[in-house]
Amino acid sequence: MRPASSLNREELARLHGSLREVLLQGIDHRGTTFRDYVDGQGREGGNQDYLKVYGRGGQPCFRCGHALFKIKIAGRTAVFCPECQK
């Protein structure tokens, strides 16, 4: 919930690495289809089967078992593990 401008160099590098990893995973699985997304060939994506927290607020974290938190940030829902994502 911190402004991006408050991140230090180490935090920025970690965030950048994670963003690249997640985006590459999404590309590898041809996108994420929740409703109507299809790729240029009309095929649904497959990345929704690999998401770890999206839509899982209150359910156990796959990594540590703690219940996932669901909050609103600037009008958008965010789900995260309070133990793994401090």
Toward Zn ion, which CB reaches closer, 43 or 63? Answer: 63
**Binding-site string for Zn ion from residue 8 to residue 47, where x marks contact by CB under 5 A and - marks none:** ----------------------------------------
Contact flag: residue 84 with Zn ion (CB under 5 A): yes
Q: Is 4 exposed, middle or buried (0-12, 13-18, 19+ CB in 10 A)?
A: exposed
Positions in the binding site for Zn ion (CB under 5 A): 61, 63-64, 66, 81, 83-84
